[in-house]
Amino acid sequence: MTKLPIYQVDAFTDRLFTGNPAAVMPLEAWLSDETLQAIAAENNLSETAYFVPAGEARWELRWFTPTMEVPLCGHATLATAFVLAEVLGEPAETLTFATRMVGDLTVTRQDDSWFAMRFPVRERTETIAVEPVAAALGKRPDAVVEFATPGDTSWLAVFSDEADVRGIEPDSRAIAALPPLNIIATAPGFAVDFVSRMFAPKAGIDEDPVTGSAHCSLVPYWAERLGKSEFVAKQVSARGGDLRCTLDGETVVVAGQAVLYMTGEIAVPK
């Protein structure tokens, strides 16, 4: 057996037992894809992030759910930056992650203990019929809009009120039967600019507690609707999470905090 370090971090929060938990694993070299997937399934968290050194303040980064590799994951990127900076002592202010599907991502440590991640904007592509989404979510949205990048399509179900989003009782099997990889429910917030929930049963995640990558769709939508570029957002899952977002041209800046829950070691067959 080979022993490997593992960290578990609650992302998009400054308090344990809230936000979105992610496993983070530093590697010296890539394991087989089968092993990476098996570890993620064993961890049984929404995402496990793996990183390998790739130069000064630069790492290769990949993310796996319990069932598949995903093209982009915000909370596990935040968790990885937190582990590098706050646990492993990386001194660089800006960390660069080379990814296989969306190119280089940068994360910058801010003075107030938040980490700002720069992600590509998702493009709005078409308007979707409301009825199938209403049936899957158990509540009827005002509109459904598709946002897409290669290999990753989201349907944004827009409601008029935060209470509607909080009150959704989704049918995961019905959601999985619809075409997109995930469905994001959103509405204006009572105390923030907008709220959201995200459902991705196709990726093995019935509901993701806090989803940084969902804001690649949410931020351009709300920027167009509200006529501004800076937002305070909240994901209103049972665990909940807080985000600060900015639309900067073709980039969405998503900032959050994180807290370490667990440090450990796993055994992997050689």
Sequential pLDDT tens for the chain (270 residues): 999 999 999 999 999 999 999 999 999 999 999 999 999 999 999 999 999 999 999 999 999 999 999 999 999 999 999 999 999 999 999 999 999 999 999 999 998 999 999 999 999 999 999 999 999 999 999 999 999 887 789 999 999 999 999 999 999 999 999 999 999 999 999 999 999 999 999 999 999 999 999 999 999 999 999 999 999 999 999 999 999 999 999 999 999 999 999 999 999 998
- Which domain does 171 fall in, by range? 123-254
Q: Which two tokens stand for residue 131?
A: 């009825």
Q: Does one domain contain both 238 and 260?
A: no
Give residue 29's region: left, alpha or beta (phi > 0; psi -120 to 50): beta
Catalytic residue among 34, 47, 86, 126: 47
Q: Residue 116: inside a domain, yes or no?
A: no
Alpha carbon separation from 116 to 54, 222, 239, 243 (Å, rounded)? 21, 19, 21, 10
Give just the sign of the alpha carbon dihedral 206, 31, 38, 67: positive
pTM, full prediction: 0.96
Asked if residue 115 belongs to a domain, the reply is no
In a domain, 64, yes or no: yes
Q: Is 93 a residue of the active site?
A: no
Of 198, 181, 182, 199, nearest in space to 233 by CA: 198
89 and 202 inside one domain: no
Geometric angle at alpha carbon 97, from 92 and 103, rounded to 5°:
140
Do 69 and 128 belong to one domain? no
Domain at 219, CATH number: 3.10.310.10
The answer to whether 19 touches 11, Cβ cutoff 8 Å, is: yes
Give 25's Cβ-side CA count (13 Å radius). Answer: 27
Parallel/antiparallel/unpaired status of strands 205-208 and 143-149: unpaired
